[in-house]
């Protein structure tokens, strides 16, 4: 069972370009979370999605950032017109859906992260 | 809004000593509290978790305690080893319908040989 897959692992963009980060959750998981981690800092919640639905995007910047999790395919975090301050590691995590999973641990499984560098 | 505070931000201990990291959460509806370990350049990985119906849980050298009244939970690592050096994050889930996971700001633990 493959874990959470993120790509690209490293992405370099110039200011003003677009960045697209992809996340394929673990098999059987229908919940995806995106977190941003600046160097030497913690995991900041950005958005929580289920298939075709955004459940909570309270951590997403109001402009330039968007996320989707289509019925088919990976979840995508899109950053338009990137600025230097967007340079960070972006982690995706997935879970099966804690509340209705009898005996489930509720564990979030993280991908290896996508490291965005904006020049 | 929801918040998880974590202390200390950095912690250095001698090999073999114990390390304690503390977290406080704001939403009394939280009922699941995991701890993650992140080694340099790697992804966070779950090391132990506790549910609100339990006061303490232990797994070998690692233990977690929960005080629901005070809304505190703590990670205890005994007999620390150099490989315990990493950043540790606490988290809490909020049962407000979305159960997003809010993480603490992290504790960088250094175990000195």
Q: pLDDT category, A105, cuts 50, 70, 90?
A: low
**How far, in Å, CA of A73 to CA of A91, rounded?**
18
The pLDDT of residue B97 is 52
- A57, A109, B71, B73, B75 from B45: Cα distances, Å: 23, 7, 23, 18, 15
Please report residues of A whose CB lies closer than 8 A to that of B95.
99
Calpha distance B86→B37 (Å, rounded):
7
Q: Bigger pLDDT: A94 or B27?
A: A94
Residues of A with CB below 8 A from B96's CB?
Answer: none
Over the stretch A83-93, which tens digit does the pLDDT of each residue have? Answer: 999 999 999 99
CB atoms within 10 A of CB A83: 12
Chain B closest CA to A43's CA: distance in Å? 6
Q: Helix (H, G, I), strand (E, B), or coil: what is residue B31?
A: coil
The answer to whether B34 contacts A111, with C-beta atoms less than 8 Å apart, is no
pLDDT band at A98 (very low <50, low <70, confident <90, very high): low
B105 contact A CB<8A:
yes
pLDDT at A101: 43
Q: What is chain A's mean pLDDT, rounded?
A: 89
Tell which residue, A93, A75, A105, has the closest CA to residue A35. Answer: A93
pLDDT at site A100: 46
- B44 touching A, CB under 8 A? yes
B37 close contact with A: CB closer than 8 A: no
What residues of chain B score a pLDDT lower than 50?
95-96
d(CA A3, CA A52): 21
Residue A8, preceding bond cis, omega within 30 degrees? Answer: yes
Which helix (H) or strand (E) element contains residue B7?
A: strand B4-7
Whether B25 has its CB under 8 Å from any CB of chain A: the answer is no
Nearest CA in chain A to B48: A107
Residue A42: the pLDDT is 86
pLDDT for the residue numbered A1: 55
User: Are A43 and B89 in contact (CB < 8 Å)?
Assistant: yes
Task: Kindly report, residue by residue over A32-59, the tens digit of the pLDDT.
Answer: 999 999 887 889 999 999 888 998 898 9
Pairwise CB contact (< 8 Å): B103 & A111: no
DSSP string, B78-110: -S--GGG-EEEEEEEE-TTTT-PEEE---EEEE
Q: What is the pLDDT averaged over residues A57-82? A: 95
Whether B99 contacts chain A with CB within 8 A: yes
Cβ neighbours of residue A40 under 8 Å, at least 6 residues apart? none
Mark yes or no for CB contact B101/A33 under 8 Å: yes
CA distance A44 to chain B (A): 7
Q: Which residues of chain A does B102 touch, with a Cβ-Cβ cutoff of 8 Å?
A: 45
Rounded to a whole number of angstroms, the distance from the CA of B10 to the nearest CA of chain A is 11
């Amino acid at each position: 069972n493959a874990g959470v897959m993120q790509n690209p692992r490293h992405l370099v963009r110039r200011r003003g370009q677009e960045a697209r980060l992809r996340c394929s959750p673990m098999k059987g998981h229908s919940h995806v979370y995106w977190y941003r981690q600046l160097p030497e800092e913690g995991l900041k919640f950005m958005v929580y999605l289920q298939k075709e639905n955004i459940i909570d995007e309270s951590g997403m910047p109001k402009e330039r950032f968007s996320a989707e999790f289509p019925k088919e395919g990976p979840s995508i975090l899109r950053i338009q017109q990137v600025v230097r301050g967007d340079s960070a590691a972006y982690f995706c995590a997935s879970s099966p859906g804690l509340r209705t999973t009898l005996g489930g641990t509720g564990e979030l499984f993280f991908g290896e992260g996508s490291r965005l560098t904006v020049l | 809004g929801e918040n998880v505070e974590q202390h200390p931000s950095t912690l250095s201990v001698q090999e073999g000593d114990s390390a304690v990291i503390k977290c406080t959460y704001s939403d009394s509806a939280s009922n699941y509290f995991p701890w993650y370990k992140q080694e340099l350049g790697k992804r966070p990985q779950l090391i132990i978790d506790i549910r609100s119906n339990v006061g303490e849980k232990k797994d070998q050298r690692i233990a977690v305690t929960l005080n629901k009244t005070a809304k505190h939970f703590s990670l205890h690592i005994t007999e620390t080893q150099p490989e315990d050096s990493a950043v540790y994050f606490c988290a809490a889930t909020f049962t407000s319908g979305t159960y997003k996971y809010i993480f603490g700001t992290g504790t960088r633990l250094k175990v000195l040989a």
